[in-house]
Structure 1
Amino acid sequence: MGIIKRGSIGSAIAFAIVAGIATAPAGAQPSVFVSSDEPEAVNTAPPAEPEETDLVDDPEPEPEASVRPSKPGDTTNGEYCGPTQKIYTPKTKGARYHKGVGPTNANYNATSRTARSIFTSEVTGEVGVSVTGGLSTSVDVMIAKIEGKYEVNLTAKLTAKLGNSIQVDTPPKKTTNAKYGVYRLKNTGTSYTIYSNCKTTAKKTITSYTPMKVGWYLWDN
């Protein structure tokens, strides 16, 4: 059987292996297969996009407001609550969202039997944290708070590397789509600042998407 493939050179290439016979273009180099950490199930729709439109990638903490610090016994500027504290509290653990690296690739099975599709990434890309505006503390502090509350492993950045491959069955007369990238955990929390004179800023609702693992998102149509 021949090979049906889509995708551009330098992105990712999909090969279909039909009836157990693998073929490849003349001169093609054999792939080095590196399985994903936890291969995902084949879905029925493309990956969902984050709902928020005001996300900031790799955000910096909000600047300090100019509040004159108080000292113990000084009542001219309110009570004394110690050094300024920047507070972040995670509230709601959301779903995982897939952030793609490179284009989506697809492989159509025109036969009447199940075929084997192999997708190999040929791009490398880095995916970081995205946060809505208003985070008062650092991203590292926010990540530590989320990890502690939900007992998950997160990181500020993950790199999806070239050479990662995955194999999946493509049903008859169906197209398997594959997107390589990073899964990120959605979380909603609150952030505010307590100043040394015990005054606080308004609490802001913060939505974040933090990298969890590298992997493929697959769907059939």
Structure 2
Amino acid sequence: MSGPALATEESPAVSVASEEDLVINTAPPQEPEESVTDVPDASVTQVPNDPVTDEPTYTGKPVPGDTPNAEICDRAAVYSPTSQGAQYHRAVGPTNANYNATSRTAKSTFTSEVTGEVGVSVSGDLQASVNTMLLKIKAKFNITVSAKLTAKLGNSISVDTPSHRTTNATYGVWRLKHTGVSYVLYSNCKTSTKKTIVSYSPYRVGWYLWES
């Protein structure tokens, strides 16, 4: 017995699942806890009408008109990650399901039916670019997250379905949750209000499975 399959001219790739992929959950994937907005094509967001640098620089030199001891900095949009959370699954395409009506364990095979991209989602007003945010996350947590990942048509996975149970499966992208602080550093070395930013960044492509 198997879940829906979509015919394709190319041979579907069989999923090489890790132990994490093969975890059979007891509920559908969790949604982000916060109200988040998808970042279109991971575009760069910067302080309007003012060039910014990835890192603030203190020169220690006064500018004309300032007091002798005035400080100046390169204006910059700053992001600093503070914590890393759980993985959240973003589905691409429909949920497949297979009910085992027999008295024995049966094999369920699921095949992804569409190709789709998943990008970064954030809460709040991220001042720095997405690429800067991802680099800061990598540096702090020694983990690589991406601006976007593609879940492709034709990937398959096979799992055991217990007797009189339903196995459900969605294919898509796992995203990692991070919390950080975003603000603007002005040329006089003062900062704007520091805002907490929650982000969900693509980490890996794979399946989410649960029984009901």
For normalisation by structure 1, the TM-score amounts to 0.80
Report the AA paired with residue 162 of structure 2: P
| SS of residue matched to 2:205 | strand
Which letter maps to 1:147? K
Which residue type is aligned with residue 150 of structure 1?
A: F
2:175 aligned residue (150, 168, 184): 184
Residues 156/28 of structure 1: CA separation in 2 closer, same or farther (3 Å cut) = closer
Matches of 2:154 and 2:170 in 1, distance apart? 14
One-letter code aligned to 1:190: V
- Aligned mates of 2:38, 2:191 — CA distance in 1: 24
* Counterpart in the other structure of 2:15: 35
Q: 2:31 aligns with which of 29, 37, 49?
A: 49
Is 1:95 matched up with 2:77? no
**1:109 & 1:29 partners in 2: Cα distance?**
29
Conservation of the 8 A alpha-carbon contact between 1:191 and 1:205:
yes
Q: Distance in 2 between matches of 1:30 and 1:57?
A: 32
Instruction: Indicate if the aligned counterparts of 2:44 and 2:131 stay in contact, CA closer than 8 A.
Output: no
**Which structure 2 residue ranges, 5 or more long, are not aligned?**
51-60
Distance in 2 between residues matched to 1:30 and 1:108, nearest whole Å: 28
Deviation string 1:18-53 (CA, Å, 9 cap, x unpaired) is: xxxxxxxxx999963421453331111100000112
- Separation of aligned partners in 2, 1:138 and 1:71: 29
Aligned position for 1:147: 138
Alignment CA distance shift 1:28-1:209 (3 Å)? closer
* Structure 1 pair 182–33 and aligned structure 2 pair: CA distance change class (3 A): same
Deviation at 1:54, TM superposition (A): 3.8
1:61 to 41, 45, 50: 45
Matched, 1:167 2:158: yes
How many residue pairs were aligned? Answer: 197
**Separation in 2, partners of 1:4, 1:211:** 29
Q: Which runs of 5+ in 1 are unaligned?
A: 8-12, 15-26
139-148 or 81-90, which deviates more: 81-90
**Is the 8 Å Cα contact of residues 56 and 133 (structure 1) preserved in structure 2?**
no
CA contact (8 A) 2:108 2:159 kept: yes
Instruction: Give yes or no for the alignment of 1:204 onto 2:195.
Output: yes
In structure 2, C-alpha distance between the alignment counterparts of 1:159 and 1:147, rounded to whole Å: 20
In structure 1, the partner of 2:57 is: none
Q: In structure 2, what residue type is equivalent to 1:63?
A: V
User: What is the CA-CA distance between 1:179 and the residue it aligns to?
Assistant: 0.2
Distance across 2 between alignment mates of 1:182 and 1:200: 36
Taking a change above 3 Å as real, the CA distance of residues 89 and 192 of structure 1, as seen in their structure-2 partners, is same
Q: In the TM superposition, what is the alpha-carbon distance from 1:88 to its structure 2 partner? A: 0.7
Q: How large is the Cα RMSD of the aligned pairs?
A: 2.6
Greater mean alpha carbon deviation, residues 120-129 or residues 79-88: 79-88
**Deviation at 1:163?**
1.2
In 1, Cα distance between the equivalents of 2:10 and 2:72? 65
Q: Are 1:123 and 2:105 an aligned pair?
A: no
Counterparts in 2 of 1:174 and 1:197: CA distance versus 1, 3 Å: same
The percentage of counterpart residues that share the same residue type is: 53
User: Contact 1:117–1:169 (CA<8 Å) still a contact in 2?
Assistant: yes
Taking the aligned partners of 2:32 and 2:91, their CA distance within structure 1 comes to 12
